[in-house]
Amino acid sequence: MLDQSQVERLEAEAVNSAKTRQPLYAARKKIFPKRASGRFRQFKWLVMAITLGIYYLTPWLRWDRGAFAPDQAVLIDLANRRFYFFFIEIWPQEFYYVAGLLMMAGVGLFLITSTVGRAWCGYTCPQTVWVDLFLVVERAIEGDRNARMKLDAAPWSARKLFLRVSKHAIWLVIAVATGGAWIFYFADAPKLLGEVVTGTAAPIAYATIAVLTGTTYVFGGLMREQVCTYMCPWPRIQAAMLDENSLTVTYNDWRGEPRSRHAKKASAAGQLVGDCVDCNACVAVCPMGIDIRDGQQLECITCALCIDACDGIMDKLGRERGLISYATLADYNANMAMATCGGTGPVNPALVRTPSGSFADGLAHFHLGKIFRLRTYIYLGVWSAIGLVLVYSLLTRERLELNVLHDRNPQFVTLSDGSIRNGYTVKLLNMIPEPRTVEITLHGLDGGEMSIVGIDQPASRSYSIPVEPDRLKTLKVFVRQPLDQIRKPAQSFEFRIDDTASSETAEYTATFNAPENSR
Amino acid sequence: MSNEHIDEISGITTTGHEWDGIKELNNPLPRWWVITFYITVAWALAYTIAYPAWPMLSSATRGVLGFSSRNEVKNEMAAADAAKAKYVTAIQSKTVSEIAADDTLREFAVAAGGAAFKVNCVQCHGSGAQGSTGFPNLNDDDWLWGGKAEQIQQTITHGIRFAADADTRQSEMTAFADVLKPEQIAQVSAYVASLSGPVKDKSLIEPGAKVFADNCAACHGENAKGNRDLGAPNLTDAIWLHGSGEAAIAAQVRAPKNGVMPAWVGRLGETTVKELAVYVHSLGGGE
């Protein structure tokens, strides 16, 4: 029999041991961003006004296109498959313009991200703009950070209920207006508004409003930073596009550390003291609820509000602005190396200053030249090249087009007088919102004549065809050539259309088939 | 072995998995994400209850909403029929020439007739209506029984030499093998061939013309231009139903093939026959 002490103890532990058990999920930690003020906040207000203005007002702009096209400046007419943008009208087969714009948007994103980092996220992303708008409402009703935190912690009361209901009601109104504005891009805005209000609009209009109201309310009011952190793929992609010369919002530890709440005392005690007074202003204003002093983070949308907050404090303390600033990683690393003697010691802010207290000469400062480098020139070049090609093709595109499909079954028909007939489906595209008359003529094919189904005229080499405004006209055309004029089993010839009024013209080279033994 | 894997930099526990020094942090999921996940699971389950889903022994559960793709097709067909009703009514009330003259109705009739043609007519006339030996090409301008829309409609309605229909187009070419001598048949074949092209032995033409006048002109006409009342083909043109050339003509003179086309009105109904007539008329040879 073994003694108890002789039993070997195995190194084993249950996988769900309470010691190491992780929570499966974590609740969202509430964030109460404090109102910031400063240059970047001003700039963000401006961007917000412009982007929201564009979004809400664009469908209401009018643009006169004459009697045969809608007068809405920007209209995606899905029913008629037309896209109108001011003086530009796009047909479905011209969708490559949209593809080109998407490519420009992609390359533009590379360009912007490689230079000024996640500027899209921080300033213009709809999520950012609407969250900002929702926060304006929240502050107006519940007060700034401290008041909101207090209200949140307070037990339910009539006042709290009133404030909460008002806030959510206004949020919902904004959400409905947002969802509602979207549908006006797809139909005549004034008419559709009337229909929506009187309940006579199409169900898809209400469904669209409902869905977008829901997403706006939930994303802008309830989920906020969760959308950026967990739902959006952009931060991951954008982070991969940053390099050491891209601007990001940076906490400059080389002058801020060691941070201290009691700088004078610490200084007197002979300790090193940085510029950071650990006031947490940067954390309080952050809409993502992070601490930029922890370094560059996935969550940071580079909205620069922490820069404003910190600059305000620095101003009050009479120190240089820019403890938190837009900086490149290269500059930051250089300055850090200076402050830490090449990384050999802790941050010593004295090393980056002259004895008189101003910044040392060797300190790296940002200047515009740093963001213009080969990589950004290449992005700019590609972006401009696509843009120029699009503009060129837009300015030179045809507004009168001709497409011809040769009948394949049968390829040709022998007629009673021995002549050979071929059938063609001819499509005339009048791509302007004006009716016009085009002359369709045969070129080549000796002795050939055409007749057009539905047009009661004797066969000839030329017809006048009226084409409706902004429409495609399909003609069934029979071309016939006398037997003695047939040169070979497959002859090339041209269909040509001319708009004599505008001198526009289009040509299509077609084939005329005849039996092998026809000669 | 310790179960405590803690990342030094972030202070967060890791899953213990490591690839080339890269460790996986064991961050908890956001709660809303987990809730959303459970909602999708519940939604999926509810979906399988609402719609046909679970496989059973012989079929599958029917779903409480009573959805079936067959019903959906039935409804869509009914909706399509309702949408077509306007045109179908117009086609029923108008003559085929009226239909052919109206752009909208013609377009509709050509589409509907083309579909009916692909099902009922291509077996003989070919998918492009180009015909073949013994089966007329409907694209050309040569018509045995007339190429006006009404005449085509009549032909499709009652057929040709179709015994079961009293109003069918009726005629029969005599077999001349027992009536004419072989040399007379050679002569008349040469004469007929000469009307639309060169022949080898021109000496046969003149006696052939006499044989033709005595035996053939009654139906095919003195100038051999044919007679549509009898379905007698024009023998002066370039189109030959049963083959061109003296040999083919002689074979037809000796023992003629008299093609039969069934009457279609009983099977397809008048509306479809009208649509077919407009379609055939639109192929390029309509008169």
pLDDT in tens, A389-404: 999 999 999 899 999 9
pLDDT of A16 > 60? The answer is no
pLDDT of A42 > 60? The answer is yes
Percent of chain A, pLDDT > 90? 62
Average the pLDDT over each of A126-130, B5-9, B164-168 and give the range with the smallest value.
B5-9
**pLDDT for the residue numbered A519:** 46
B232 — pLDDT class (breaks 50, 70, 90)? very high
Mean per-residue pLDDT, A79-99:
91
Angle at B91 between CA B127 and CA B160, to 5 degrees: 50
Closest CA to A149 of A274, A277, A32, A309: A32
Mean per-residue pLDDT, A224-228:
91
**pLDDT for the residue numbered B179:** 92
Mean per-residue pLDDT, B153-168:
95
A273 — pLDDT class (breaks 50, 70, 90)? confident
**pLDDT for the residue numbered A235:** 84
Using the beta-carbon criterion (under 8 Å), do B106 and A413 form an inter-chain contact? no
> For chains A and B, what is the number of CB pairs under 8 angstroms?
86
Each residue's pLDDT tens digit, A135-192: 999 999 999 999 999 999 999 999 999 999 999 999 999 999 999 999 999 999 999 9
To the question of whether residue B121 is assigned a binding role by annotation, the answer is yes
Mean per-residue pLDDT, B65-83:
94
Tokens linked to A468? 């409706």
Residue with tokens 């407009």: B278
To the question of whether residue B220 is assigned a binding role by annotation, the answer is yes
Rounded-to-integer distance, Cα A248 and Cα B208, Å: 103
**B159: how many CB neighbours lie within 10 A of its CB?**
22
Mean per-residue pLDDT, B119-132:
94
Each residue's pLDDT tens digit, B172-186: 999 999 999 999 999
Percent of chain B, pLDDT > 70? 99
Q: Report the residue from A20, A27, A478 with minimal CB separation from B4.
A: A20
Instruction: Report which residue type is found at A449.
Output: E
Using the beta-carbon criterion (under 8 Å), do B128 and A27 form an inter-chain contact? no
A347 — pLDDT class (breaks 50, 70, 90)? confident
**Contact residues for A346 (Cβ-Cβ < 8 A; gap 6+):** A257, A258, A272, A340
**pLDDT for the residue numbered A319:** 87
- What global pTM score does this model have? 0.80
**pLDDT for the residue numbered A261:** 82
Using the beta-carbon criterion (under 8 Å), do A19 and B140 form an inter-chain contact? no
**pLDDT for the residue numbered B1:** 38
A22 touches chain B (CB under 8 A): yes
**pLDDT for the residue numbered A490:** 92
H helix and E strand count, chain A = 16, 15
- What chain A holds in terms of domains, given with CATH numbers, is 39-95+118-230 (no CATH), 243-366 (no CATH), 400-513 (2.60.40.10)
Using the beta-carbon criterion (under 8 Å), do A415 and B137 form an inter-chain contact? no
pLDDT of B268 > 90? The answer is yes
B60 — pLDDT class (breaks 50, 70, 90)? confident
Average the pLDDT over each of A119-128, A455-464, B106-115 and give the range with the smallest value.
A455-464
- What chain B holds in terms of domains, given with CATH numbers, is 1-67 (no CATH), 72-168+261-281 (1.10.760.10), 182-254 (1.10.760.10)
pLDDT of A18 > 60? The answer is no
The ipTM of this complex is 0.81
Mean per-residue pLDDT, A13-26:
60
Angle between helices B69-93 and B103-120 (to 10 degrees): 120
Using the beta-carbon criterion (under 8 Å), do B106 and A416 form an inter-chain contact? no
Using the beta-carbon criterion (under 8 Å), do B30 and A421 form an inter-chain contact? no
Angle at B103 between CA B102 and CA B109, to 5 degrees: 85
Mean pLDDT, chain A, whole residue set: 89
Q: Report the residue from B4, B30, B239 with minimal CB separation from A26.
A: B30
**pLDDT for the residue numbered A351:** 85
Closest CA to A402 of A429, A438, A440, A422: A429
Percent of chain A, pLDDT > 70? 95
3-state secondary structure A335-386: HHHHHCCCCCCCCCHHHHECCCCCECCCCCCCCHHHCCCHHHHHHHHHHHHH
Rounded-to-integer distance, Cα A10 and Cα B211, Å: 120
**pLDDT for the residue numbered B2:** 46
A10 touches chain B (CB under 8 A): no
